[in-house]
């Protein structure tokens, strides 16, 4: 919509009878878009989660794919991690330097509210040992089915294989199986995802149409992604696909503050990926951008002091090989020993002091993030300065943005989904406020 969108809304309402419906278009059928559709169509009360169907608003969801929620379903394939149960301050900190923009919407619809919402759909949840929150059956499909049923019952329309192309004046342009179509709307929510998983619909094609309208968009970058290391052929052939279990990664932030995370990750054909790497991916990506590489230090034997490691390494090994000695005395598995050989010179590996130091702080150098289409999510997007507090574009009144297409990122663990739900709800509330001004 152009700047005249508010005038269009005002004119439509003034010249229409009270029973005429105003049209709200949601573009994107992921969690953010569906939550925006629910908020507008059912007017969720911020106090009691009560649902009251809106009879004067027609909500329609448009998506380029044959069905909605495809990335949501894929994310739940190994167990649907909806949110996280950690305290709100720690939860909010997961959003890094964007937490100030997300704080209000997460306070209104955060982890606790998301669990209540799921319960209302008949999906009970539980807190796992890691603090992550899952549906009891661990599946995404039952939740999505119940949600879509509720939306359809509320009158929400769904239009599949409709790819948004931008605007033609104030009208929305779509490529459809029947050819190009234009659609007028009183308000629009763009919830088009980020730039990862293009085959599921998140291809970042929305960037150009927004930039053409003067909207500031930060470049899309891979987040929750793997990184290239450049293994030797021997290491790659022997260890690619294997998981490095129970290590602590140490990384010095730009201000010198040390950061430590315990977890695990996987060796890939050319580098590393997995939950521990994803948790550090924003810092690693930024360090590579500024310095050309990022170095993190791995403690391969957490729980054992450096002094004890030195004693074990120095312990007489008799006729055993050094690798066998490290397995029996230090508890290192073949992968950890392989990493030591890969990252140290042959001379360092044979020197007890250097070897013991490396077991507690093995430098691993990362050279580049993997391509964005391999990433779980993306950073960058519509900048918050381009939006008001209701997520409406300052330059395009009546047009709202939500979800991963906004300029924020978070690690895996339920944080991505929670912010998508919360921002979708915020945009939906913004639409209701916008429409109410012209009632």
Across the beta sheet with 243-252, the strand order is 362-366, 294-299, 243-252, 258-267, 271-273, 227-228, 368-369
* The predicted structure's pLDDT at residue 342: 97
pLDDT in tens, the chain (439 residues): 433 433 333 323 333 334 468 999 999 999 999 999 999 998 643 333 444 445 589 999 999 999 999 989 988 777 899 999 999 999 999 999 999 999 999 999 999 999 999 999 999 999 999 999 999 999 999 999 999 999 999 999 999 999 999 999 999 999 999 999 999 999 999 999 999 988 888 899 999 999 999 999 999 999 999 999 999 999 999 999 999 999 999 999 989 999 999 999 999 999 999 999 999 999 999 999 999 999 999 999 998 999 999 999 998 888 889 999 999 889 999 999 999 999 999 999 999 999 999 999 999 999 999 999 999 999 999 999 999 999 999 999 999 999 999 999 999 999 999 999 999 999 999 999 999 886 6
Which pTM does this prediction carry? 0.88
* The predicted structure's pLDDT at residue 202: 86
Pairing of strands 187-190, 399-401: parallel
How far is the CA of 253 from the CAs of 97, 257, 260, 283, 427, in angstroms?
A: 13, 5, 10, 7, 34
Which domains can be identified in the chain, with CATH numbers?
Answer: 5-220+381-436 (3.50.50.60), 227-369 (no CATH)
* The predicted structure's pLDDT at residue 197: 81
């Amino acid at each position: 919509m152009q700047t005249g969108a508010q005038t269009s809304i005002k004119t439509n309402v003034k010249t229409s009878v009270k029973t005429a419906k105003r049209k709200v278009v949601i573009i994107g059928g992921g969690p953010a878009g569906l939550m925006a559709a629910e908020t507008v169509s059912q007017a969720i009360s911020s106090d009691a989660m009560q649902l009251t169907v809106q009879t004067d608003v027609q909500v329609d969801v448009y998506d380029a794919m044959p069905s909605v929620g495809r990335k949501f379903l894929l994310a739940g394939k190994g167990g649907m991690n909806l949110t996280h149960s950690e305290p709100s301050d720690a939860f909010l900190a997961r959003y890094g330097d964007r937490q100030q923009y997300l704080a209000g919407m997460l306070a209104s619809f955060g982890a606790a509210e998301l669990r209540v919402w799921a319960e209302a759909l008949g999906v009970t949840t539980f807190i796992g040992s890691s603090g992550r929150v899952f549906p009891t059956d661990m599946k995404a499909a039952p939740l999505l089915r119940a949600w879509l049923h509720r939306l359809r019952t509320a009158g929400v329309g769904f239009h599949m294989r409709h790819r948004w192309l931008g605007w033609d004046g104030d009208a929305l342009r779509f490529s459809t199986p029947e050819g190009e179509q234009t659609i007028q709307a009183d308000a629009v929510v763009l919830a088009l995802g980020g730039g990862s998983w293009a085959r599921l619909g998140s291809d970042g094609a929305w960037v150009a149409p927004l930039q053409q309208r003067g909207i500031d968009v930060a470049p899309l970058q891979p987040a929750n992604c793997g990184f290239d290391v450049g293994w030797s052929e021997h290491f790659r052939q022997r260890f690619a696909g294997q998981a490095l279990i129970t290590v602590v990664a140490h990384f010095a932030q730009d201000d010198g503050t040390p950061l430590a995370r315990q977890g695990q990750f996987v060796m890939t054909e050319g580098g590393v990926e997995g939950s521990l790497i994803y948790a550090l991916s924003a810092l690693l990506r930024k360090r590579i951008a500024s310095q050309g590489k990022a170095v993190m230090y791995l403690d391969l034997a957490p729980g054992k002091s450096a002094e004890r490691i030195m004693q074990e390494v120095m312990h007489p090994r008799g006729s055993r090989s050094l690798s066998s000695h490290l397995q029996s005395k230090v508890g290192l598995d073949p992968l950890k020993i392989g990493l030591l050989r890969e990252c140290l010179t042959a001379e360092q590996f044979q020197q007890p002091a250097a070897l013991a130091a490396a077991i507690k702080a093995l430098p691993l150098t990362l050279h580049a993030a993997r391509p964005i289409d391999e990433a779980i999510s993306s950073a960058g997007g519509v900048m918050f300065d381009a939006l008001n507090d209701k997520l409406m574009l300052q330059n395009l009144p009546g047009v709202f943005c939500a979800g991963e297409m906004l300029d924020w990122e978070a690690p895996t663990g339920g944080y991505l989904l929670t912010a998508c739900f919360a921002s979708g709800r915020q945009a939906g509330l913004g639409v209701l406020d916008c429409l109410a001004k012209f009632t």
